[in-house]
A and B are shown apart, each in its own frame.
Chain A
Amino acid sequence: MYRVTLDDASDLDAWRNTARALLLAGVAPADVAWQSAGDSLFGEAGDTLPPPRATRVPAVPRRFLALAGVVLAHTDPRRHAVLYRMLWRLADGEKSLLDLATDDDVRWAYTCAKQVTRDMHKMKAFVRFREVRLDNESVYVAWFEPTHDIVTRVAPFFVRRFTGMRWSLLTPSRTAHWDGATLSFGPGAQRADAPSDDALEDLWRTYYASIFNPARLKVDAMRREMPVRYWKNLPEARLIPELVRDALPRMQAMVEKQPTVPKKKITPLQKAVDDAPEGSLTALRRQARDCRACELWKPATQTVFGEGPAHARVVVIGEQPGDQEDLAGKPFVGPAGKLFDKALGEAGIERDQLYVTNTVKHFRFEPRGKVRLHKRASAEQQAACRPWLAAEIDRIQPAALVCLGAMAAQAVFGASFRLMAQRGAWIDLPDGRRAMATVHPSYLLRVPDPDEREQAYAQFVRDLTLMREAL
């Protein structure tokens, strides 16, 4: 039996160096007795180890070291031995040991790690600083009683969070101090070393009492997350018995109370007066917001109405809004819209001269996980939306219409229109206007072959250029 002594029983490096030496010397886990310098049971120094039999320790998974670091902070005196046994087994060829969650050692280690992690989390949560004035400067001091030896592991969190403060964390086993530049650790302290009060605590208790909803008393849920053992160092905890006791009467009083008549009158918000004249494009847009002519409004964000000058010479009609248009409430702002803008620029046309709209004013989609897949509006939905387009054209009285894509073209020219055969040429409409159709820019985004795509895009720009004579 070899006795080994650790200066700091919770320190990963100390354990790791010793464990490495033991492993190199081939000392089996059953032959090691671990002790820490603080234990008076054994002598101070450990036994001399046999000479190394190997020169290299086999590589162990990084996550074992991470686990060991956490487990060492646990108070259970068996931790050094269990971790060494795990190291031994890992080195002995049990490479997948850490995956065996039901193995005795692994389960024990993970359970300990979980307890330590929880203790650390609760320390981050339940430390309560109290302010002290020292040399005309504020110093914040907290007394806390963790279950495990976690101060050195948690202190860096407080440094990252309270960098701009001077503070001390006092616990029975260790203390940590931050002076604004350096983190230092010291031996344990006593409760009396910390301030006994802080003037802010009354305000904090006021908040605690006021944020509590007496109509939802769930004392067990509170205790589960804020175990009673922490209460003695939590300034708000002293309110709990009273809050719990009064909850039911307060709740009953609320339920039984008769509705009251308002004593003071607060003036409601005056809604902006709808000054858009009847029959104007603005009035039309406002009406369209509440359109329920088909079901598409239900899952969609909003009606995407046309945009542009009220008396534009040219109205450009797309198919239907997509994901981005639905979110923004504006037509042609997504990827296809960006391509359209680019092509317009190359054709020498400014978009703000045009009135840009869609055949169908709501996004139709199929939810697929987190994405919304674009879906073509049905014939009924297109028909239901037709009056809006007709009304837009009627208000604007443009000289020409430009249809992007088959849905728009068929809305203007009728169902027999064949886009690919008849695109890129002005056609006179019965009402005296001219109209032209070309592809929808989203079609260009979908052409798989890069050369073909380039050709299609060039043709699209040529088609758009025809618009210039109408402007």
Chain B
Amino acid sequence: MIADRAGKGARAGPFTRADASCGTIDRPMDLQEKLAILADAAKYDASCSSSGGKGRNSLGTGGIGSTEGMGICHAYAPDGRCISLLKILLTNFCIYDCAYCVNRRSSNVRRARFTPEDVVELTLEFYRRNYIEGLFLSSGIIRSPDYTMEQLVRVARSLRTEHRFGGYIHLKTIPDASPELIDAAGRWADRLSINVEMPTETGLKSLAPEKHLGDIRGAMGRLRLAIDEAKAEKKAPRFAPAGQSTQMIVGADAASDRDVLATSTNLYTNYRLRRVYYSAFSPIPDASKILPLKPPPLVREHRLYQADWLMRFYGFAADEIAPPGDSGMLPLDIDPKLGWALRHRDRFPVDVNRASRDMLLRVPGLGVKTVDKMIAMRAHKRIRYDDLVRLRVPVRKVAPFVETVDHRPRGDRESLALRRDLREPAQPDLFG
């Protein structure tokens, strides 16, 4: 493919050795085919974040690459997901047999394998053209966890040391790899992640029989220690300055939203994860027969992200969002904050001129930025209903829960009626 690099300035590119001869399945694959297979194999990992960590640029090194704290999404795919990193697997051969995974060893998916050099070149060439923020490299497990991890580390080390690459690197970490390899991974990567895969141990046992919750947690614990240590001591070698994250698959096992959120809380507290990603189990080619036939509605994943946000930035506990005693599932037709407010009508209306920041953050429809604007403003003037309109808050949603100088909600509106009024029309979820 690359052999016919057209356009201005075509030259013998880095990929010319991959020739474009056509033939049977068994001929050597060219880079474009490998990329198609190994990007396809990586797309079930939801994370594409390139944020977090200290700023870094190339002014000092004369190389290329920078990270400035805030990630950049260079494109969006028609699935609405951000494309920030070159997210690929080194190989989709795998000796594990996790039922939810398109690359499990019993699947008949086409297999391919990059060399570490392929990945280095692809990353650099894409980066130079401003297609990406960096690399998110993962892999099927081949030969052994250590062998595989060593290959991943080699890519990151080559990018950093041989090519002075200052862009973002996220490496998937294999829980069973040796501590030395994990140290090396942390030395070159901005972020490391280990997927917990399933919200509960039961789910993990049934769908990923070769993975062990204990190993996963143990590896996350070691990562946290190493990250903390690097942060605490100036002289300590660099270790994953953008922290660690994980992913849970939702809807492939019987876990409820409450189970999911309880697991997230535990992970955030135990391992100071930067993010937990929720990935609604989605149909895959050549699916295992032990998987459910029907994927969960995508809006379930959306509600979990909202709940996660409430836990991280709005002071909510998992129990408040998915209270014990009911089904443990978040309603799909209203957001979890509204759900909490409707269950706690006694806490409202909130006087926006007096309420604490914490309480304002619990008002449905008010976000962190709006609340902070209101707090800055009310030091100088009394907030009126019109101010809410001018702040562009969703007044229909906010008004029943707040009090201003000139507004008090009518007290006679039953929660049920309110809920009916405020529910979101079902998203045109094509496949729900």
The distance from the CB of A388 to the nearest CB of chain B, in whole angstroms, is: 16
- Considering only residues 318-332 of chain A, those with a C-beta below 8 Å from chain B are 324, 326-329
In the assembled complex, B327 has its CB within 8 A of some CB on chain A: no
Task: For chain B, residues 251 to 297, give those with C-beta under 8 angstroms from any C-beta of chain A.
Answer: 265-266, 268-272, 280, 282-289, 293, 295
Which residues of chain B are near A96, meaning CB under 8 Å? 379-380
Q: Does B126 contact A (CB under 8 A)?
A: yes
Is the CB of A39 closer than 8 A to any CB of chain B? no
Residue of A nearest to B428 (CB): A220
* B338: min CB distance to chain A, Å: 21
Chain B 28-68 interface mask (CB, 8 Å, partner A; 1/0): 00011001110110111000000000000111011111101
**Given A130-B8, A262-B106, A299-B266 in contact, is the A210-B376 Cβ separation under 8 Å?**
no
- Bound together, the chains give a CA A208 to CA B225 distance in angstroms of 37
Pair B7/A367 contact, Cβ less than 8 Å? no
Interface with A: B92-100, B185-193, B241-249, B415-423, which one?
A: B92-100
A interface, over-half SS: mixed
Which A residues from 191 to 214 make CB contacts under 8 A with B?
195-200, 202-204, 206-214
User: In the complex the two chains form, is B376's CB within 8 Å of A99's CB?
Assistant: yes
Whether the pair A222, B78 counts as a contact (CB closer than 8 A) is: yes
Known: A203-B122, A204-B126, A206-B32. A128 touches B131 (CB 8 A): yes
From residue A119, how far is it (CB to closest CB) to chain B in Å? Answer: 14
Whole-angstrom CA separation of A236 from B165 in the bound complex: 24
Residues of chain A within 8 A of B286, CB atoms compared: 257, 259-260
Partner of B431, one of A234, A251, A301: A251
User: Residue on B with the closest CB to A195?
Assistant: B8
B413: interface (CB < 8 Å): no
Are the C-beta atoms of A125 and B63 separated by less than 8 Å?
no
> CA–CA, A367 to B271, complex, Å?
12
In the complex, A372→B228 CA distance in Å?
A: 15
Residues of A231-290 at the interface with B, using a CB-CB cut-off of 8 Å, are 234, 236, 240, 243-244, 247-248, 251, 254-255, 257, 259-260, 262-264, 266-269, 289-290
Q: Say whether B178 faces chain A, with CB atoms less than 8 Å apart.
A: no
Q: Is A133 an interface residue, CB under 8 A from the partner?
A: yes
Q: Which residues of A contact B31 (CB under 8 A)?
A: 203
Known: A126-B74, A164-B62, A301-B270. A254 touches B284 (CB 8 A): yes
Which A residues lie within 8 Å of B164 (CB)?
164
**Partner pick for B283 among A121, A234, A255, A263, CB 8 A cutoff:** A255
User: In the complex, what residues of A have CB within 8 A of residue B69's CB?
Assistant: none
Q: Is the CB of B76 within 8 A of A210?
A: no
The reply on B405 being an interface residue by CB < 8 A is: no
Give the Cβ gap from B68 to chain A, nearest Cβ, in Å. 8
Known A96-B379, A163-B63; contact A199-B13, beta-carbon cutoff 8 A = yes
Query: Which of B39, B210, B298 has the most chain A CB within a 10 Å cutoff?
Result: B39
| Interface residue total, chain A, C-beta cutoff 8 A | 92
Contact A263 B80 (CB under 8 A): no
Of B72, B77, B122, the most chain A CB neighbours within 10 A belong to: B77
B39 touches A129 (CB 8 A): no
Given contacts A159-B59, A225-B73, A255-B283, contact A130 B377 (CB under 8 A): no
A217, CB-defined interface residue at 8 Å: yes
Q: Tell whether B162 is near chain A: CB-to-CB under 8 Å.
A: no
Is A392 part of the contact surface with B, judged by Cβ < 8 Å? Answer: no
Known contacts: A133-B8, A195-B8. The answer to whether A243 contacts B214 by CB under 8 A is no
Query: Are A161 and B128 within 8 A (Cβ)?
Result: no
Complexed CA–CA distance, A185 and B277 (Å):
42
CB of B421 to closest CB in A, whole Å: 23
Q: Judge whether A379 is part of the interface by a CB distance below 8 angstroms.
A: no
Give complex CA distance A247, B77 in Å: 12
The chain A residue sitting closest to B164, CB to CB, is A164
If A164-B58, A195-B8, A211-B39 are given as contacts, then 7 extra A-B residue pairs at C-beta distance below 8 Å, sorted by A number, are A129-B128, A200-B125, A203-B1, A204-B131, A234-B75, A260-B108, A329-B221
The 10 lowest CB-CB distance pairs between A and B, nearest first, are: A221-B80, A199-B5, A218-B80, A197-B7, A133-B9, A327-B221, A160-B57, A210-B39, A163-B58, A266-B105
Query: Can you name 14 A-B pairs with beta carbons within 8 Å?
Result: A99-B376, A160-B58, A195-B8, A199-B6, A203-B31, A216-B79, A217-B78, A225-B76, A236-B75, A240-B78, A260-B107, A266-B105, A268-B105, A299-B270
